[in-house]
Amino acid sequence: MTVTRIELKNKAKEQIRGNIGILFLINLIFVLIYVVVSLIPFVNIISGLLYSVFAVGLATIYIALTRGERPEVADLFKGFHIFGKAAWLGIITGFFVMLWTLLLVIPGIIKAISYAFAPYILAENPELTAREALRESKRITYGHKMDFFILGWSFFWWELLAVITLGLAGIYVAPYIQATIANFYNEIKGDNGIPLPTIEVLESGIQENNETI
């Protein structure tokens, strides 16, 4: 990765400037829909799938933001254009993270980072299957997992501020974090030609040979 965390954050600050209002509205709509669905009996079981679908929409919004495009509320629902793929991505991601977490917590965290950018990849490449997006996320995060982990922890005080202010600071903090992550994604996705280590290749093979997973 050619840029520093400070540069990624500075980019994010510039990108969200003038867009805080619309980004707050987008996040508010997402949270309200998710909470309402979670409270409805028998319907709340699909809340996890909805989260995966909305994750693709949010990825679309923040990728566009990093390109200088103004966020659109309608983009939040773009994941529904590929509902099956987005929902399946959430299922298999949760399944594999759970399996690795059963071994130890740390492998589970590592795998969660490996899969973190699958929604971004699916947002940019809706023609891919969920497993292809997952595999590509593993490829681009190879060699960058610690960078991403440290980046996440660098927002600790910002997240604490959001908690202390009962979510009020989150109006700024949430878009700031999401824009920074989108910038991180833009940086690492250009690292082409990095081979997956043996264990990653093995896992990919397992996915290929188990169509029902």
Residues 105-148: tens digit of each pLDDT: 888 899 999 999 999 999 999 999 999 999 999 999 999 999 99
Report the pLDDT value the prediction gives residue 209, as an integer from 0 to 100.
41
Alpha helices in the chain (DSSP H): 5-16, 20-39, 47-66, 83-103, 105-115, 118-124, 130-141, 145-153, 156-164, 170-188, 198-209
Over residues 146-174, mean pLDDT: 95
Q: Which of the pair, 128 or 100, is modelled with greater confidence? A: 128
The Cα–Cα gap between 158 and 176 comes to: 10
pLDDT tens for residues 65-87?
A: 999 999 999 999 999 999 999 99
Distance CA 143, CA 49 (A): 29
Instruction: State the residue range of the domain holding 133.
Output: 5-209
Output 41 or 93, whichever has higher pLDDT: 93
> Residue 100's pLDDT is what?
86
Cα dihedral 178, 1, 141, 134 in deg (nearest 10): 70
What is the number of domains present in the chain? 1
